[in-house]
Structure 1
Amino acid sequence: MVVHGIKLQDDGNSSSGYLQDTGGDSRKVNQYATAKKTVMVDGANIIGILTYCIVFGVTLSQLGRRGAVVTQFFTVVNIVTFKMIRLVMWLSPLGILFLVMGQIMSTTDMTETGQTLAIYLATELAGLAIHSLVVLPGLYFILTRKNPYAIYLKAIQALLTAFATASSAATLPVTMQCVEKRMKIDTRISRFILPVGATVNMDGTAVYSAIAPVFIAQYNGINLSFGDVIIISLTAVLSSIGSAAVPGAGVAMLLLVLKSIALPDRGISFLVTVDWLMDRLRTAVNVASDCLVVGVVSHYTELPPCNPSETQSEQQQEEQEMLENDLV
């Protein structure tokens, strides 16, 4: 076929033209071209910041004495921040009152908003239940071939304390008591795993940080793409590692997740109204996960017999005093 002429018309996304052959026949040919380009979006690079902080902390811990000055600096900053937050918490009921009232007055359809909030509560409850009653016990059974729900029964006192205090740090002494006396776990394992778990193992917070942004997006009429869901999931997991073991820390982590995909914070006040209950349930899930992790580590760890002359009373008293003064 010999082409005598080509006529192309560019409409921005596609090109169309007419090709003529020697026989005088013509046909329309559509050609689509895809161009890739990099665009800038609003919002901070939260995933990059969290990744840098995690790598920085791991590298700092490997320096030993050379990084003691930096470690001490951040420890003091952490204590000062907690004391400042404690002062702010005295005014938080008044601030939350005006925040919720302003949100209610700006809402046009309270029935639809209430239904959306009820769906959010049901979704988070279902997520916490599936994670704590199916996923975690399933992993524990696969790794140890033991009944995971027996761990829950032995740690019931710690779970109730976690629900009452909404703080993994405040529950830590009770968790240690349940693990060491009722589960018969070696103190060398519990004294290492549980403090670390109360700091970085925040399963319930991760579930909350993944579900709440979807509610915020639906409340503001924003459709989330598949990429947005992936970013939310990654940010929720990374931010939960650095979440503080104190009541109300999940709301601060939620703001980081919202910033990662440039979602507005409009509607977050509705979550604050029910967060007092959900935060307690999330804390119970965190403590339950810590107890299961201790059971797994104890199953695969073979330690020599502990010297009975070594006492842990002074160490336990020191840890409890530190938690009460600095973390709670």
Structure 2
Amino acid sequence: MKVLQFLRHNMLLISTIIAVVLGIVAGMVCRMLKPSPDAIQLVQLPGELFLRMLKMLMLPLIIASIITGVITYCTVFAVTLGQLGRRGAVVTQFFTAVNIVTCKMIRLVMWYSPLGILFLVMGQIMSTSDMTETGQTLAIYIATELAGLAIHSLVVLPGLYFILTRKNPYAIYLKAIQALLTAFATSSSAATLPVTMQCVEKRMKMDTRISRFILPVGATVNMDGSAVYVAIAPVFIAQYNGISMSIGDVIIVSLTAVLNSIGSAGVPGIGYAVLLLVLNSIGLPDRGISFLVTVDWLIDRFRTAVNVASDCLVVGVFSHYTELPPRDPSETQSEPQQEDQEMLENGLV
């Protein structure tokens, strides 16, 4: 029973890994047959459909996420809408619904992703002239991103936490270990939210009035790991395509990565859509993105863990500086509402 339950909850991950392996093997075999450009284009067709579906969804997702997440027209619109109070509630609910529906559509697209990834990887290997050089570049990319995530989560974030609170930040990490492991397993900040709340409220003894406000917002707008990914990946794409990036391009990528990470929903696979948007912002092609897909199923889990760790540290900072009046004895620390809980479990928020 446990094996069947594991397979059911990790079917997408298992399918993606199998697709990557099959794509590599099939690509290497077909490569020896010296296929024509037309044959390669035909093989890549299912993968191109996958990329086009992501491109179709990226704009409504980013716009709706930023407006509902309050930050540049979208930020001003969100702030102004919030000032309207009850009169702006209908519009806010509209964009919230757009955001939820788009996230649901992305989840559906992700179930097609194993097939798309298989043919993307297969076609990319068939069309690559120098596999050795490409493998070296990909290895450098993996090392660079993991190093960036490690520096951010083990040096930058703890340093900021210590400066602001004069407390040990690694004690927060230790008490949040269950949430971090869940984030690594699910690759979703939103799906990890109930576990994160439990760690923060039960093990860290944080006030629920703070955690129930900070953590849901953080699961939507606090995507540190995603920002690191979206800043590094375009450099790999540029190098793979033999394109030199200017200092201005790097600055645009960095700013776009930060802004888009704020508007990204905490669901698996969202990084693909954000990356495509960043590539378009500086005119880079999407050729080579399939190589990132072959390793992203693993690295994305590290990014999600960094996002959750950051959320926990933010709750600690707010708790340090916020002096709340004693809780009314008549109030109870009830669990989240059933509707919100069901939406979280279904991965819709």
Q: Does the pair score TM above 0.5?
A: yes
Interval containing the TM-score (normalised by the shorter chain): 0.7 to 0.9
Q: Is the 8 A contact 2:253 2:278 kept in 1?
A: yes
**Residue number in structure 2 paired with 1:23:** none
Aligned partners of 2:105, 2:279: CA distance in 1, in Å?
Answer: 24
Q: Is the 8 A contact 2:190 2:347 kept in 1?
A: no
**Residue number in structure 2 paired with 1:249:** 270
Which of 100, 115, 121 is equivalent to 2:121?
100
Poorly superposed stretches of 4+, deviation over 3 Å: none
Q: Is the 8 A contact 1:151 1:183 kept in 2?
A: yes
1:54 CA displacement: 2.2
Aligned partners of 1:191, 1:88: CA distance in 2, in Å?
Answer: 31
**Residue number in structure 2 paired with 1:306:** 327
Instruction: Summarize deviations over 1:198-219 as a string: whole Å, max 9, x none.
Output: 0000000000010001111111
**Residue number in structure 1 paired with 2:241:** 220
**Residue number in structure 2 paired with 1:83:** 104
1:240 aligns with 2:261: yes
**Residue number in structure 2 paired with 1:271:** 292
Greater alpha carbon shift after TM alignment, 50-59 vs 207-216: 50-59
1:131 aligns with 2:152: yes
Aligned partners of 1:114, 1:293: CA distance in 2, in Å?
Answer: 38
Q: Following superposition of structure 1 onto structure 2, how do residues 113-262 of structure 1 map, counting pairs within 5 Å?
A: 113-262=134-283
**Residue number in structure 1 paired with 2:36:** none
- Compare the two structures and name the one with the higher helix fraction: 2
Aligned partners of 2:328, 2:189: CA distance in 1, in Å?
Answer: 29
**Residue number in structure 2 paired with 1:73:** 94
- Compare the two structures and name the one with the higher strand fraction: 1
Aligned partners of 1:326, 1:90: CA distance in 2, in Å?
Answer: 14
Structure-1-length-normalised TM-score: 0.83
**Residue number in structure 2 paired with 1:8:** none
Q: Tell me how many residue pairs correspond in the alignment.
A: 281
1:314 CA displacement: 4.8
Quick one: which amino acid aligns to residue 110 of structure 2? M
Q: Is the 8 A contact 2:103 2:267 kept in 1?
A: no
Q: Secondary structure at the match of 2:101?
A: helix
1:59 CA displacement: 2.1
Tell me: CA distance 1:297–1:227, structure 2 relative to 1, closer, same or farther (3 Å): same
Identical aligned pairs, as a percentage?
88
Aligned partners of 1:314, 1:207: CA distance in 2, in Å?
Answer: 33
Aligned partners of 2:141, 2:335: CA distance in 1, in Å?
Answer: 45
Aligned partners of 1:263, 1:149: CA distance in 2, in Å?
Answer: 39
Q: Following superposition of structure 1 onto structure 2, how do residues 51-62 of structure 1 map, counting pairs within 5 Å?
A: 51-62=72-83
Greater alpha carbon shift after TM alignment, 119-128 vs 107-116: 107-116
Aligned partners of 1:184, 1:80: CA distance in 2, in Å?
Answer: 35
Q: Is the 8 A contact 2:103 2:265 kept in 1?
A: no
1:321 CA displacement: 1.4
Q: Is the 8 A contact 2:220 2:263 kept in 1?
A: yes
1:91 CA displacement: 1.6
1:123 CA displacement: 0.1
Aligned partners of 2:142, 2:337: CA distance in 1, in Å?
Answer: 38
Structure-2-length-normalised TM-score: 0.78
Quick one: which amino acid aligns to residue 229 of structure 1? V
Q: Is the 8 A contact 1:158 1:171 kept in 2?
A: yes
Q: Is the 8 A contact 1:79 1:326 kept in 2?
A: no
Aligned partners of 1:81, 1:171: CA distance in 2, in Å?
Answer: 20
- Give the superposed CA RMSD: 1.5
**Residue number in structure 2 paired with 1:287:** 308
Aligned partners of 1:314, 1:154: CA distance in 2, in Å?
Answer: 20
Quick one: which amino acid aligns to residue 213 of structure 2? F
Quick one: which amino acid aligns to residue 54 of structure 1? T
Q: Is the 8 A contact 2:215 2:311 kept in 1?
A: yes
Aligned partners of 1:323, 1:140: CA distance in 2, in Å?
Answer: 28
Q: Secondary structure at the match of 2:168?
A: coil
1:78 CA displacement: 1.9
Stretches of structure 1 lacking an aligned partner (at least 5 in a row): 1-45
Quick one: which amino acid aligns to residue 268 of structure 1? I
Aligned partners of 2:335, 2:310: CA distance in 1, in Å?
Answer: 27
Aligned partners of 2:83, 2:142: CA distance in 1, in Å?
Answer: 42
